[in-house]
Amino acid sequence: MNLVVIAGPVKPLGTHETDQLNAYLKRGGRVIAMFRPQRPDNSIDETALMKLAGDWGVKVGNDIVVDQVVRLFEGPALGLNPLVQTYEEHPITKDFKQHTVFPMSRSLTAEPNLKPGLSVTPVAKTSDTSWAEVNLDLLYKEQKAELTDKDTRGPITVVMAVDGNLEQLGVGKGDARMVVYGSTEFADNQYSGTLFNRDFFVNSADWLTGEENSISIRPRSIRASRFRLTTDQFSIVFAFSVLLLPELLLIAGIVVWYERRN
């Protein structure tokens, strides 16, 4: 079974390309569509890809999902890498209870008045404390986000699964399947190995290609632990570990030596 992955194209899709993708789906095709985050200057144009997803029942938001996180030395802060641990019932998430992370994700919702034959299922959702921020100028230029009436409160769907009965849709026989991700970074080189992102992505591919028996949680490989620090956090750790702690040990040693000598 073939599978087409559209991972946040840098250039906008042309009419010929979207027509070919639609024709492919109507022949029982399998597609993964992943979206890049919207920008205030509209430098990323995914209108054609959004329309393709919309034709198959998934509405992609012009927003970015944010969530509050607590960081070491900082306390509560704006989080653009929402953690996901809520999954709806679907073959992709069968027995899947692990955490995943969806950096810079758009929100996804089902289109109203779905065509008969289309089944659209929310698969992964963010937490109750998250929301879909529509004020991209504030987010990009000031690195701030404020929950307003224009924003959508969480939980926010970041992965949708589409199953289309082609006979009911009146375009052919069999079925077409699509998985839509609000985030492209979810499966890039930086985040694919984070938490259980790789397992989730492979499970999506297995469902699309009809390999449901292969859906599982794979053994974790041993890898080096990494902890990311900001410049200020690194300075604090450096001051304690390199400057302050050795001096305290030196002073303690001098005190012990002096007391023993006397």
pLDDT tens readout for residues 3-42: 999 998 888 999 999 999 999 999 999 999 999 998 888 7
Pairing of strands 157-165, 118-125: antiparallel
pLDDT at position 146 is: 86
Indicate the domain borders of the chain: 4-214, 229-262
Q: How confident is the model at residue 222, as a pLDDT?
A: 46
Distance CA 19, CA 27 (A): 12
Give all strands of the β-sheet with 157-165 in edge-to-edge order.
4-7, 30-34, 175-181, 157-165, 118-125, 86-87
pLDDT by residue, tens only, the chain of 262 residues = 689 999 988 889 999 999 999 999 999 999 999 999 988 887 888 999 999 999 999 999 999 999 876 554 455 566 889 999 999 999 999 889 899 999 999 999 999 989 999 999 999 999 998 999 999 998 888 888 888 999 999 899 999 999 999 999 999 899 999 999 999 999 998 888 888 999 999 999 999 998 876 665 555 554 545 556 566 666 777 777 777 778 888 888 888 888 887 7
Question: Which stretches of the chain are DSSP H helices?
Answer: 15-26, 47-55, 136-142, 166-169, 197-208, 231-238, 245-261
pLDDT at 200: 94
Amino acid in the structure at residue 49: L
Token pair 């859906």 is found at 215
| CATH fold of 4-214 | Rossmann fold (3.40.50)
Determine the Cα–Cα distance for residues 249 and 212; give it in Å rounded to an integer. Answer: 59
